[in-house]
Structure 1
Amino acid sequence: MSTGFFGDIKPIKFEGADSKNPLAYRFYNPEEVVAGKKMEDHLRFAVAYWHSFAWPGGDPFGGQTFERPWFPGAGETDTMALARKKADAAFEMFALLGTPYYCFHDADVRPEGRDFAESAARLDEVADYFASKMEETGIKLLWGTANLFSHRRYMAGAATNPDPDVFAYAAATVKSCMDVTKRLGGENYVLWGGREGYETLLNTDIGREQEQAGRFLQMVVDYKHRIGFEGAILIEPKPQEPTKHQYDYDVATVYGFLKRFGLENEVKVNIEQGHAILAGHSFEHELALASALGIFGSIDMNRNDYQSGWDTDQFPNNVPEMALAYYQVLQAGGFSTGGTNFDAKLRRQSLDPQDMLIAHIGGMDCCARGLKAAAQMVEDKALSGPLAERYADWEKPEARAMLSKGAKLEDIAARVISEKIDPKPKSGRQEFLENVVNRYV
């Protein structure tokens, strides 16, 4: 049923590359088969509830610019009625876009209660409403998560807070969000670092806070198994914001944390493009490393403004970046429980309801172009062929022997002398490979 918020806009259809219709897909054809699988099943798109329906359009220098009928002060005083109105608009947009999934934080979808019990009850009530909307539309939940950063109680962190009561409140909140995620058939549960980090070492015990975070995550994993939640537990790396230094800085840092607490086989990562850039990496680097370490799970898709030093959460529009990103996703075997969640928001001057649709359409088209280019590169062995050639000498018996457990430094040194080994450097052919990628995009 139409809410009227999007007017008379009809469901977005694929019209092809020559279309001039801003409310049509030019490259995303969900039914098109790419690398043996439908494009929809490769990309597994999800819409982020928070940026699209909870964010008011503010920035550090100015407040709300968006006017939404579900925002407090819009006329309705019953906050749960506003939550249902928001859900109606959200599921209408999911259906218009044809995205198979959505994602949410608890605070995105229900108003804060007077105490924890009321907040949890409100989340349960909204989850019941979501269940009916999901049954009506066929839209599924990619993942749920808890907002452990916005409320002032979390100003010094959640699991890493110096106050044990905050730790307890965060634990109770995560439990309720995991319960709802399982009830709604969510395929993952995400723990975003929030304020798990520090502003200054003058008032921070890093060792203590790391131990608290590790124990918290162990309890989350234990609870997952006790309730029979079959989805993946994901951590989302981020180097900074909202604290100066986040403990989940990047994929490598998260892996070290997981190894320390014996969770490397239990928890994977949800990698965001913008966070990779903030950490001084590329998106493809973080994806490739997660795959190499066996912890690749899902992605948050967006982009940063490279002239700004913070997380601007813009919609993706760089096809070469997307091609290299999805190349790594395909090399990792593709998504299993994960997907492509648009953790992206409108610019604060983009006021019209159709801007919400157009932004997602552009992002989905960009990802589709990247996926198709990546799939063709995989099929042609455009990058894997030269890569295998570069490391081919490591397949020789004497090279493999150097990496065996019985190899000794002195034996290798003796072989260098006896065989008069004198390596001659070989070109890495970077410019050639960059030109190869550009042929596909």
Structure 2
Amino acid sequence: MSETIFSHFPAVKFEGPSSTNPLAYRYYDPACVVLGKPLSEHLRFAVAYWHSFAMTGSDPFGGPTIDRPWMAPGDPLTLAKLKADAAFDFFRVLGSPFFCFHDADIAPAEPTLAGTLKNLHTMVDYLAEKMTSSQTKLLWGTANLFSHPRFMAGAATNPDPEVFAWSAATVKHCMDATQQLGGSNYVLWGGREGYETLLNTDMKQELEQMGRFLSLVVDYKHKIGFKGQILVEPKPKEPTSHQYDFDAATVYGFLKRFGLEKEVKVNLEANHATLAGHSFEHEIATAGALGIFGSLDINRGDMLLGWDTDQFPNDLWTMTMAMYQVIKAGGLGLGGCNFDAKVRRQSFMPEDLIHAHVGGIDLCARAFLTAAHLIEEGEYDSIIAERYAGWKTTEAQAMLAGKLSLDEIAAKAEKDAIAPKPKSGKQERIENLLVRKIYS
């Protein structure tokens, strides 16, 4: 590996809760066995190629503040390879088991589709070579179908069928790349699959296009024998006024409409959840209840700002409750915890990026350990079970299973002269319990 801006950093190690080393894991011990398997297998951490290596620190009100060697003028493919060298050196420092990418993150675009795809496959071959000497694998790949002006009115939902075809070709090749690199998932994030105004929008037409596009992706998955998951990432707004993939429940309704609910799951992001007016744990619980929970993008938003700030997580309560729902949903499976998060504009040094990931990884690990302890101890779950205990009776199960009609239920209620009384939800007791467990 050539010398990179991360080469002089040693690998981050687990040193335990008493460590004062700012570049050490205090809670993330990859080999620690929890609920029957190592913590590394539960959490499956991934580095986001885009925010970590392509982000310049620019925002709508200011230019770039982050200057990396691969951002200098020069041959685009040479610089892309320099970026990849730095990325895998960074993975070494963190001990990161996975990474994620968009096509535009790893390979430079050309004016033509053919030229762009040629660069993509050149860089995929280079990444495959890098992976032979690295323990880091690919969690998922995806296509950037939102940045270029051709996507100003969407990709799959664009009024121009040539944009639909360009997007389909791009996704086809990105799926091929993901399979070549051994990816566990393929994600579709429609950054502009929505509308800015209904004045010029045929919603029925656009939803039909979106359904056809996703069906094509699923068909191609089976054609090439891709064993990973197909994931859709919900996002409610920004940049469009209304996204068609608003939240987990909306995506489920869309999947049901096109008969894809058994084929596609969701990749849920914390900041997208809050933009939709939900909590992260709500979205995870919803996806788990509907059977479409797939993977996570770990970050947070700024509650004082109404846009996607993609900050690294630092709220132990929120993350613990999210991890509790992950466990209840059956775990991440082929999914993982991808840090779709970026350092702030003023954090432009290479070590800032390491500090950000170390903190995020440690927070998630501590949250998962706490959630696992809550489940193993059983007190929290027993309170919930007690609240719904009435539904375990034979009669209640018959109502739930559809064995009793509405008039039969009514007749029985009248005959028995039932008189249900209010029962405490015990919210404060639960809050006190969780505060003690989370912050102890």
TM over 0.5: yes
Hey, what does 1:20 align to over in structure 2? 20
Deviation at 1:348, TM superposition (A): 0.5
| Matched position secondary structure for 2:230 | strand
CA deviation vs aligned residue, 1:91-123 (integer Å, no higher than 9, x gap): 000111001000000000111112011110101
Counterparts in 2 of 1:7 and 1:147: CA distance versus 1, 3 Å:
same
Aligned amino acid, residue 71 of structure 1: M
Q: Deviations over 1:252-290 (max 9, x none)?
A: 000000000000000000000110000001111110110
SS for the counterpart of 2:139 is strand
In the alignment, which residue of structure 2 is the partner of 1:146? 143
- How much is the aligned-residue C-alpha RMSD, in angstroms? 0.9
Query: Aligned partner of 2:288: which letter?
Result: S
Which residue of structure 2 lines up, in the alignment, with residue 10 of structure 1?
10
Distance 1:420 1:350 in 2: 67
Q: CA deviation at 1:406?
A: 3.6
After TM superposition, list the pairs within 5 Å mapping 1:170-319 onto structure 2: 170-319=167-316
Between the aligned partners of 2:437 and 2:139, the Cα distance in structure 1 is 30
Residue 6 (structure 1) shift:
2.1
Query: Which is worse superposed, 376-385 or 123-132?
Result: 376-385
Matches within 5 A, 1:418-433: 418-433=415-430
1:60 alignment partner AA: P
Give the match's secondary structure for 2:267. Answer: strand
Deviations 1:191-230 (A, max 9, x none): 0021000000000111000000000000000000000100
Q: Deviations over 1:275-333 (max 9, x none)?
A: 00000011111101101100000000000111111111000111111111111111111
Partner deviation per Cα, 1:391-416 (whole Å, 9 max, x = no partner): 11111112122223341222222222
Using the alignment, how far apart are the partners of 2:340 and 2:273 within structure 1? 13
**What aligned pairs does 1:50-61 form with structure 2 within 5 A after superposition?**
50-61=50-61
Provide the rounded CA distance (Å) in 1 between the counterparts of 2:397 and 2:356: 50
Distance 1:413 1:41 in 2: 50
Are 2:42 and 1:42 aligned? yes
What is the CA distance between 1:190 and its match in structure 2? 0.0
2:356 equivalent to 1:369 = no
Match of 1:101 among 98, 102, 105: 98
8 A Cα contact 2:109 2:116, kept in partner = yes
Q: Distance in 1 between matches of 2:124 and 2:197?
A: 39
Q: Distance in 1 between matches of 2:437 and 2:401?
A: 39
SS at 1:103's partner residue?
strand
State the distance in 2 between where 1:401 and 1:195 align: 46
Measured in 1, the distance between the counterparts of 2:396 and 2:310 equals: 46
Shift of 1:2: 5.3
Q: 2:87 maps to which residue? A: 90
Matches within 5 A, 1:385-400: 385-400=382-397
CA apart distance, 1:7: 5.0
Letter in 1 for 2:109: E
What is the CA–CA distance in structure 2 between the aligned matches of 1:383 and 1:232, rounded to whole Å? 32
Structure 1: which 5+ residue stretches go unaligned? none
Which amino acid counterpart does residue 8 of structure 2 have in structure 1?
A: D
The answer to whether the 8 A contact 1:236-1:271 is kept is: yes
Query: How many residue pairs are counted as aligned between the two chains?
Result: 438
For 1:260 and 1:4, the matched residues in 2 are separated by 49
Does the CA contact (< 8 Å) of 2:261 and 2:292 recur in 1?
Answer: yes
Q: Could you list the runs of 5+ residues in structure 2 that have no partner in the other structure?
A: none
Q: Is the 8 A contact 1:2 1:92 kept in 2?
A: no
Q: Distance in 1 between matches of 2:278 and 2:42?
A: 25
